[in-house]
Structure 1
Amino acid sequence: MNVDKNMTDTTTADAKKHSPTYGLKDLWDEFSHSTGIHAVEKIKAPSINPFSVRGLMWTLAICTTTAFLIYNLIEELGNYYSYPIVTKVTSNIKHFIEFPAVTICNRCTLNKTRLDVYPEMESYFANTSLQRNKNFTFPTPTSDVFQNPLSLEWWRNMSMEGSKMLVQCAFGGDNFDCMTEFRPVFTTQGLCHSYNFNVTEIVKVWTAGDDANLIVSFNIHQDDYTFRANMAAGIKVLLHNPRLHPEADPTVVMASPGFSTYVALQKKEYSFLPGPYKAFDDMECVDTNSAEFVNPLKYYSPFTYEHCFMECVRIKAFDECGCVGPSDPQDLPRCSLVKQDSCYTTFVREMSKNGTFVKECGCVGECTLIRYTAQVSSSSFPANIWVNTFLNSTETRDRATMVENFLELRVFYDNMMVTSTAQQPQYTVASLFSNIGGQMGLCLGASNLTIMEITELLVFIILFLCDKCRGRKARNRINTW
């Protein structure tokens, strides 16, 4: 019995003597046989199998591909956080399209006949016009009408009458009263008349074609023209978003008397990505559709880049000149004629082309906007066969007078198609992980779950070292957890 006991003790002692101690080499060996990373199992710990040429080659291969993977991942993450974009352009046929606002300005908005009540007025406008076109000076008039602030009512009384200029109007083949739909609005050109601007319900177009949209007959009344810096005769047509001021980035078309001018429109919609994406080169856009957005402008609504800059330059002009122009929305003192010509108009013109001032305003573009493009063509108006009929209906003296004063304007969509240009993220979270997974699979034959395997190995190494530091026996957690 003692012999059996001695043999048992000897066997136990031998087992303890020859039982291997669990170490980092075992941890690596078990990881290399369980991981999904290619070729790791070909690298043996030195204590298990001394390094061979084959082992060194595989080690070099894995290190090289790992370095290449890390380089690609850093570049991939850099690209993702640079927020690159792609632009998608689509053309869609619509059942209906909102019609733009059409603002018509006579090339001379002031009425000479009405200005004649002021004896010096014609010579004053002649001198100011020469001053702008040539290096010309003249004595500043001192009478009250030139030096005192002028009200909007004065400007209305001295302007061309819309009821006399707008002869006949039709939309969609139906005639309508011009002055009911065309509303007076002040611009830097003077008193103009707008159709479909700032209305409760925007006019919609259901059919395209030059006979299906807006047709206007116009009498420019050249006999009532006075001297202005602009020397042309005819009308200036501003095509713009119905919700925006006529001078907020319009499409501009000129129409001459004696012609029928055809303006074929195309509507373009733009949608840009808000921050952190750079919508305009190095600038972010303002997401005006966001629930948190509050219009920072005091005088213009809605917020646009053009409204922002218009407000900025006009506030600065008031600080410089102490008055505002007739087209400004501020309820502040209006400029006198002398002040407007000598200070206000000049200052606004200079600031509008001053790059430093433009940057100081700090205006940024909105993320969604609408623009119109126009193709313009014309033909003689009216045709010879209609001359007598037109003379009788308008009570015009003769054909020469009619050709010098009358014109027809047709503004229409040439098709029921809207072109949309939208920015889209080049990278999404899904595409980022797909690219990372592709890089890992290409370099190491690994997947995104391999990151968990590597993380687990690092955790076990830390726990192994903690056991060693505490004097404990290291445990094989890979197999026991």
Structure 2
Amino acid sequence: MTIMKSVDYAIQVNCIEDTQCKLKNIIERISYFISTPLARSATVHLAEKIEFPILTLCSKRSWNYTRFLLEMPILLKKLNKTTTDIQLPYDFLALTNLEDLWSGYGINLKSDLIECYMGRNRSCEDSGSWARVYTVFGSCFSYETDEPLLETGPFNNFYGKFRIKKKDLEAEIPNGLKNPLATASVGWTYLLHNEHFTPALKARFGQDLSPGLNQDSEASKIVVTGTNVWHKPCVEPATDPKYSVSKCELGCFTEHHFRLSNVGTEKWCRLPFMTEGKHKSARLCSTSEEYRQTESLVFKMLEDGLWDEGQCKCMPRCEETLYGNNAETVVGKRNTESRLRLFYASKSYESVLEKLAYKGVPLFCDIGNSMGLLIGASTLTLIEIIEWAAWSLSNLVKNIKRRIYHGKIRADN
């Protein structure tokens, strides 16, 4: 009897411990499923044709100093000031509005880009088009091809030859016309991006091309497809086809500028590149003082850490095309010229697919396995208990019958 109780107790203890393990395993599987783990897989594709990235070019000389000098007499006469009293470019708002100032007095691409081909013996204008865009560098230009590329290689894609006049290279530019975000007073910077991207703030992170240097820049393309999950949300293209992180950050920057200026909606004004956010339709700065104060705060936000992208809650796109480049630079023949070759080495590109690493079917399979073991353990214990109960009941009945039998014998005697 004592041995059977010990065996039964051991069985029950093992059963309890095993049951706890199975329940713990089930809870762990459910918790893992709720955490929505993601897995990434990369695939290399070889296409028949490939989209060329949008190329945005900015001159580090934001302004056409020669035009300012030519029109200086008109400004002096209107403001009744001397040359030493003029603050460039701000005071020229007395002659024009801010957008015309940026476009009309900014660097003209044609004065810098003296040769441009997109494909063998095809001019850039025959294969695509240039558009003026506004960034923290002022007036820049974006080039977009009309059709995907059928040919690749350094002699079949973009070729640009830049030139800066020697007098401009040696000229002393007034401080007001120098952009503090530029790494030099002359030269160019370029950026590769997709159609949803805005270079307004990101132009300052572009690839530098200095006078006297030639670059062969190999482009690369990656298509990233993400999964919209609770702990890593993204914006579906169907929800907002024109959305991009760069536009969201520009809107965030504009709103932060508005709050830091602390002048109210009526007095606050924006610069031409501030085209996103709640105040994207606010008026452009119209006076020299407004322009100077607004631009000064922009530079402080970007240079002195008054703002950074981490302050913005911008979700990525669920589907994004990213472009990169690997540039090799050599010294050219003339210090007033530069050459840029931008090309694909082949029509291959990489796609990155993000998907759930643990879906519902594996979850239910794991739970089913654990439940099967759990149920098996409980059935075995139940059988042991029934067997012990039957054996105990049988012994009890035998003892009772034995006592009754012996009691009758004594009574007869």
Describe the shift of the 1:165–1:342 C-alpha distance in structure 2 as closer, same or farther (beyond 3 A): same
- 1:369-411: CA deviation from partner (whole Å, max 9, x where unpaired): 22222111123335xxxxxxxxxxxxxxxxxxxx232211111
Amino acid at match of 1:425: L
Matching of residues 174-323 of structure 1 within 5 Å: 174-176=121-123, 178=125, 181-196=129-144, 201=146, 203-221=147-165, 223-224=167-168, 226-227=173-174, 228=178, 229=180, 230=182, 231-247=184-200, 249=202, 252-276=206-230, 278-279=231-232, 284-286=233-235, 288-290=236-238, 293=239, 295=240, 302-318=242-258, 320=261, 322-323=268-269
Matching of residues 31-180 of structure 1 within 5 Å: 52-116=5-69, 117-118=71-72, 145=92, 150-176=97-123, 178=125
Give the C-alpha shift of residue 338 in structure 1: 4.0
CA contact under 8 A between 2:114 and 2:161: conserved in structure 1?
yes
1:325 equivalent in structure 2: 271
CA contact under 8 A between 2:197 and 2:246: conserved in structure 1?
no
- 1:426-479: CA deviation from partner (whole Å, max 9, x where unpaired): 211111012223334556658xxx9xxx9xxxxxxxxxxxxxxxxxxxxxxxxx
Gaps of 5+ in 1: 1-45, 122-137, 296-300, 383-402, 455-481
Give the C-alpha shift of residue 308 in structure 1: 1.2
CA contact under 8 A between 1:106 and 1:220: conserved in structure 2?
no
Give the C-alpha shift of residue 317 in structure 1: 3.1
Give the Cα–Cα distance (whole angstroms) in 2 for the partners of residues 285 and 441 of structure 1. Answer: 39
Describe the shift of the 1:168–1:99 C-alpha distance in structure 2 as closer, same or farther (beyond 3 A): same
Structure 1 range deviating more: 324-333 or 58-67: 324-333
SS at match of 1:54: helix
Describe the shift of the 1:358–1:407 C-alpha distance in structure 2 as closer, same or farther (beyond 3 A): same
Give the C-alpha shift of residue 151 in structure 1: 2.9
Give the Cα–Cα distance (whole angstroms) in 1 for the partners of residues 201 and 93 of structure 2. Answer: 30
Amino acid at match of 1:368: E
CA contact under 8 A between 1:89 and 1:419: conserved in structure 2?
yes
SS at match of 1:340: helix
Give the C-alpha shift of residue 80 in structure 1: 0.9
Give the Cα–Cα distance (whole angstroms) in 2 for the partners of residues 331 and 68 of structure 1. Answer: 62
CA contact under 8 A between 1:149 and 1:333: conserved in structure 2?
no
Give the Cα–Cα distance (whole angstroms) in 2 for the partners of residues 118 and 289 of structure 1. Answer: 50
Structure 1 range deviating more: 264-273 or 223-232: 223-232
2:410 equivalent in structure 1: none
Give the Cα–Cα distance (whole angstroms) in 1 for the partners of residues 102 and 138 of structure 2. Answer: 8
Q: Which has the higher contact order (CA 8 A, sep 6+)?
A: 2
Give the C-alpha shift of residue 51 in structure 1: 5.3
Gaps of 5+ in 2: 76-83, 262-266, 383-413
Describe the shift of the 1:188–1:221 C-alpha distance in structure 2 as closer, same or farther (beyond 3 A): farther
CA contact under 8 A between 2:113 and 2:162: conserved in structure 1?
yes
SS at match of 1:274: coil
1:334 equivalent in structure 2: 284
TM norm structure 2 = 0.73
- 1:277-299: CA deviation from partner (whole Å, max 9, x where unpaired): x23xxxx222x224xx2x4xxxx
Give the Cα–Cα distance (whole angstroms) in 1 for the partners of residues 5 and 47 of structure 2. Answer: 73
1:412 matches 2:343:
yes
Give the Cα–Cα distance (whole angstroms) in 2 for the partners of residues 339 and 417 of structure 1. Answer: 50
Aligned residues: 347
- 1:307-362: CA deviation from partner (whole Å, max 9, x where unpaired): 01212322443563621112233454322454333333424642784469954x53
- Structure with the greater alpha carbon radius of gyration: 1
Give the Cα–Cα distance (whole angstroms) in 1 for the partners of residues 121 and 151 of structure 2. Answer: 13
1:373 equivalent in structure 2: 324
Give the Cα–Cα distance (whole angstroms) in 1 for the partners of residues 245 and 197 of structure 2. Answer: 11
Give the Cα–Cα distance (whole angstroms) in 1 for the partners of residues 187 and 161 of structure 2. Answer: 12
1:438 corresponds, among 369, 385, 398, to 369
Describe the shift of the 1:248–1:93 C-alpha distance in structure 2 as closer, same or farther (beyond 3 A): farther
CA contact under 8 A between 2:191 and 2:207: conserved in structure 1?
yes
SS at match of 1:174: coil
Describe the shift of the 1:74–1:318 C-alpha distance in structure 2 as closer, same or farther (beyond 3 A): closer
- Give the CA RMSD over aligned residues: 3.6
Describe the shift of the 1:411–1:220 C-alpha distance in structure 2 as closer, same or farther (beyond 3 A): same
Amino acid at match of 1:325: L
Give the C-alpha shift of residue 252 in structure 1: 1.7
Describe the shift of the 1:149–1:274 C-alpha distance in structure 2 as closer, same or farther (beyond 3 A): farther
